[in-house]
Amino acid sequence: MAEEPQNNNAYWAANVRIILISLTIWASVSFGFGIILRPALMGISVGGADLGFWFAQQGSILTFLGLIFFYAWRMNKLDAEHGVEE
């Protein structure tokens, strides 16, 4: 019984780590590439638009979708590791 709280703590620590990594990627792509670094990325062309604009319009959406699938996959794996899968 004493191991259960430790297992819960390990589970939630891993969960929070995954969330923080996802949020860091999200912030880097949406604010970093789409807003802050946009002037530096203007010289690079992707599909007829500059890379900063592409990240603000398309790249951020694709990154968000990738993060959703990554989070679902990783949480299913984490749930199985800690024995709390559905």
The whole-angstrom separation of Cα 86 and Cα 79 is: 8
> What ranges make up the beta strands (E) of 1-86?
45-46, 49-50
- pTM score, two decimals? 0.78
In a domain, 16, yes or no: no
- pLDDT per residue of the chain (86 residues) written in tens, 0 to 9: 445 777 789 999 999 999 999 999 999 988 888 888 888 888 888 888 888 888 888 888 999 999 999 999 999 999 999 888 77
Residue 67 in domain: yes
> 39 is in which domain, residue-wise?
24-82
15 lies in some domain: no
Number of domains in the chain: 1
Instruction: Please classify residue 79 by burial: count the beta carbons closer than 10 Å to its beta carbon, then call 0-12 exposed, 13-18 middle and 19+ buried.
Output: middle
